[in-house]
Amino acid sequence: MPTVNSIQTIKDYFNRHNGVQLTNRFTVSIFNSPVGDTEIQAQTVDIGPRAIATIQDNLYGYGGGRFLPRHQQLIAGGFGVVISFPVTNDNYILKYFNDWFNTIHSDSNNFILPYYESAIKPTVMSVDILDPNGNPNSTMLFTEVFPVETQPLSFSMKESLPYQLYTVVFGYRSLIHTFENV
């Protein structure tokens, strides 16, 4: 039995699994959104926890019974997929998401909600997790994606910030995670 904490055991483990996944190697693409396809330069991607909602069966015994899986909670605790985007000088990212929000819910007096089948159902978002050479290690495909909320834009004269960030929270229906080298 190998020594669990030996340097050689640790090196062998990471060599056997092709090293470690770098957090800065990823791409984000959105397809079939109501405002068009785009590959967006994202600064950070935070994928919320996966959670299974349960219900107790209330069978005889201690407490309320066994917890049975009921459905997957895709925005567990109000957290779906949170992506921060650098804002370019043409404000492309602001316009893209403002147009998307306005397509789903217009602020005009003539409120018209588009059909789910045309506004949300076809939209998918791909987060490709890349190796050091830029090849996909795995792909997280989120289906029926839509923006849920944006975080506040912060402007300040008291600090010298390098650039503006725009953070968007996405909801989705399902996650399909495919692996290239497994």
- Going residue by residue through the chain, which has 182 residues, state the pLDDT in tens, using 9 for 90 and above: 555 678 888 888 888 888 888 889 999 999 999 898 887 899 999 988 777 778 888 776 676 777 788 777 665 555 689 999 999 999 999 999 999 988 887 666 565 666 788 888 999 999 999 999 999 999 999 999 999 899 999 888 887 768 899 999 998 888 899 998 66
Domain ranges of the chain: 20-47+86-179
Distance CA 49, CA 32 (A): 25
36 token code pair: 């068009």
Whether this prediction's pTM lies above 0.85 is answered by: no
pLDDT of residue 52: 78
